[in-house]
Amino acid sequence: MANPGEMFNGSVVAVTGASGFIGAHLVARLCALGAQVHGIARSTLTFEHRHLHSWSVDLGDYAKVESTIRSIRPDYVFHLASHVMGAPDLKHVLPAFHANLATTVNLLTACAETGHGTGRVVVTGSLVEPPAGELETIPSSPYAAAKWASSSYARMFHALYGLPTNIARVFMVYGPAQRDETKLVPYVVRSMLAGQVPKITSGQRQIDWINVADVVEGFLAIAAAPGIAGQSVDLGSGHTISTKDFVVQITKLMNLPLQPEFGALPDRPLEPLRTADVERSYRQTGWRPTVSLEQGLREVIAYYRGEKA
Ligand SMILES: NC(=O)c1ccc[n+]([C@@H]2O[C@H](COP(=O)([O-])OP(=O)(O)OC[C@H]3O[C@@H](n4cnc5c(N)ncnc54)[C@H](OP(=O)(O)O)[C@@H]3O)[C@@H](O)[C@H]2O)c1
């Protein structure tokens, strides 16, 4: 496999969703590797680096997407922009459709039309998508439906138009500086630090959690791996843990006299049980996760405490 350090040094890379949780970590890593990074989001990026160019673009607008790609002329594209809401509510249907599916179709079309992204175009899928072969699975949310459809488009653009796409099928991510602080890990840690009891579902759901640093290395490995264009690659830990055990592990590491309240929130219907196939990911890309859950959670807790891990 190619060495990402050598491969990305001096290359032109577009990262959508660059103001978001995973996007910001990916941008920082690419800048450190010496890539010329073009971070795209609707908002202006709040961080700076001499290798970073910030683009404020709504990727739902095809004309703007095409002119942005023509201006950037990227070798590699990482598409992370999304409406990241896995709740089943009707109010998420249109935002998920626009921010996930329309942005993906616009970006893939712009790359195919302009001939850019020939290094690789990596779109971000999700654990909520079924593995290959499960055709009749019912999506668990508007987000799941939009992600699944986006991945189909990515495969189609590779098969029909020769665009070298991949789908990074990302499992549940945790790490420092998560933008949406209502998500489980920042919510639990911040509640505990504020002396408030975190309110949780029954905690029965089994989830495959992956550290953001591992996800970033996974994205780079996918873009660097030869001979896998058109394929999905799982980026997860390969292990599941119940939400209850996961939250209890956080609270034990925090060592505060507070216990979360399980059963205080309703469980979501149709939540799929999925585990990353990390052996397949390794065969495809040479990538394996390296951060243990305990080490990763200690880093997040230290981040919210304002300490160094
Ligand atoms: N976090 C997880 O556990 C997880 C798990 C599986 C998959 N994923 C996937 O990983 C990717 C990154 O997730 P994240 O947690 O980092 O999300 P996030 O923090 O919510 O960031 C979402 C990003 O998308 C941008 N965005 C949304 N709509 C846009 C539009 N129309 N045009 C341009 N930019 C737009 C947002 O910026 P503005 O608001 O400034 O536009 C932001 O930068 C997503 O594709 C998500 O579905 C995440």
DSSP 203-228: ---EE-EEEHHHHHHHHHHHHH-TT-
Instruction: Report the C-alpha dihedral over residues 28, 29, 30, 31, rounded to 10 degrees.
Output: 50
- Indicate the length of the chain as a whole number: 309
Residues lining ligand 1, CB < 6 A? Answer: 16-23, 41-43, 58-60, 80-82, 84, 99, 103, 124, 126, 170, 172-173, 179-180
- CA–CA separation, 27 vs 47, rounded Å? 10
Q: Which atom of ligand 1 is nearest to the CA of 168?
A: 7
The upper half-sphere exposure of residue 5, i.e. CA atoms within 13 Å in the direction of its Cβ, equals 0
Q: Which two tokens stand for residue 292?
A: 């243990």
Each residue's pLDDT, cut to its tens digit, for the chain (309 residues) gives: 677 778 999 999 999 999 999 999 999 999 999 999 999 999 999 989 999 999 999 999 999 999 999 999 999 999 999 999 989 999 999 999 999 999 999 999 999 999 998 999 999 999 998 877 777 788 999 999 999 999 999 999 999 999 999 999 999 999 999 999 999 999 999 999 999 999 999 999 999 999 999 999 999 999 999 999 999 999 999 999 999 999 999 999 999 999 999 999 999 888 888 999 999 999 999 999 999 999 999 999 999 999 865
Q: Which atom of ligand 1 is nearest to the CA of 22?
A: 16
Q: Are 242 and 198 in contact (CB under 8 A)?
A: no
Who contacts 32 (Cβ-Cβ below 8 Å, separation ≥6)? none
With H, G, I as helix, E, B as strand and everything else as coil, classify residue 165: strand
pTM assigned to the model: 0.96
Other C-beta atoms lying within 10 Å of the C-beta of residue 290: 10
User: What's the chain's Rg over C-alpha atoms?
Assistant: 19
User: What spacing in Å lies between the alpha carbon of 30 and ligand 1's midpoint?
Assistant: 18
